[in-house]
Amino acid sequence: MNGIRHEVVQADGVRLHVGRMGSGRALLLMHGWPEFWQTWQPVMERLANNYDLIAPDFRGFGDSDKPAGDKPSDQAGAAVHGADMAALLDSLGLAKVGLVAHDVGAIVAQDLARRVPDSIVGVFCFDCPYPGIGARWAEPGHLKEIWYQSFNQLPWAAKLIGASRDACATYIGHFMRHWSRNPAWVEEMLEIWVDNLMRPGALQGGFNWYVSQNASRLATIRDELSPQTPINLPTCVRWGDGVVLPAAWADRLHETFSNLDFAVLPGVGHFPHRENPDLAAREIAKFFDRIWTK
């Protein structure tokens, strides 16, 4: 089994860093916030004998291009990342891929599945935000869990959190631990994630997602989003029972994914691929091994 290969791909004028491992059928792995490509490494190591695992950093994250300067930008929403990922597939010459996504990446996966459906074999998501969550995002008991979505939009948020390694570790470490039911993985990875976020532009690059998606977020809470055509591709959603995205919120997923295989994963929270990578890799392989033969 080969180790991680690091590539830089020019995708429609954007420089995207990719971590890649293995060979075979191609899976595009899309991270969430505050993650970067490396969040997928344990799963990649378990799947590399049978799959070509392609884990990019979204623009603004990791080693991919960052926005110029330190000003918030609204050019980092789902449509922007979806277009980047479509261009990445073209640049890599990949005619067919499976999508594996988590959190922010799962929102991008919805855009990509609608943008280039003929290139997508199927969609696999962990903890998948989607329009049907609606006003539950802002229920009084849940406001204490989503305060960061507003904080990350403040023009000085990145400067404050990036003022020191301790500040960054305190902020990011809170989410890593608080969102996990099995947080044993956090202490090993915290310094690596802080190293990543302390790179120039990386904090603001990630925070720009929240700036860019705010109008959509508010429309979701107000139930004002325009209806979208359901995604008909084979879809598997595995949901950890965490605090920021409770598993009960999956009750309307069928409105977004018409060909859905859904289950709650026991014993994990928001980061199944980190909290129990053996289980996460098995679920991914089981889904794609089933649908890719059809």
Query: What is the 3-state secondary structure of 39-58?
Result: HHHHHHHHHCCCEEEEEECC
Q: Spell out the domains of the chain, with CATH numbers in brackets.
A: 5-291 (3.40.50.1820)
For residue 93, the model assigns a pLDDT of 97
**Residues labelled catalytic:** 103, 210, 270
Burial of residue 1, with CB atoms counted within 10 A of its CB: 0-12 exposed, 13-18 middle, 19 or more buried: exposed
Q: Tokens 């014993």, residue?
A: 267
Average pLDDT over the chain, rounded to whole?
Answer: 96
Does residue 157 surpass a pLDDT of 70? Answer: yes
- Our measurement of the distance from residue 79's CA atom to the centroid of its chain's CA atoms, rounded to an integer in Å, reads 14
d(CA 35, CA 206) in angstroms, rounded, equals 9
For residue 294, the model assigns a pLDDT of 58
For 54-87, what is each residue's pLDDT tens digit? 999 999 999 999 977 778 999 999 999 999 999 9
Q: Which residues pair with 5 in a beta bridge?
A: 20
Q: Which residues of 105-141 are buried (b: 16+ CB within 10 A; e: fewer)?
A: bbbbbbbbbeebeebbbbbbbbbbbbbbbbebbeeee
Does residue 1 surpass a pLDDT of 50? Answer: no
Length of the chain measured in residues: 294
For 109-120, what is each residue's pLDDT tens digit? 999 999 999 999
Q: Which amino acid, 109?
A: A
Query: Which residue in 43, 188, 28 sits closest to 119, CA to CA?
Result: 28
**Average pLDDT rounded to a whole number, residues 255-260:** 97
For residue 213, the model assigns a pLDDT of 97
For residue 68, the model assigns a pLDDT of 75
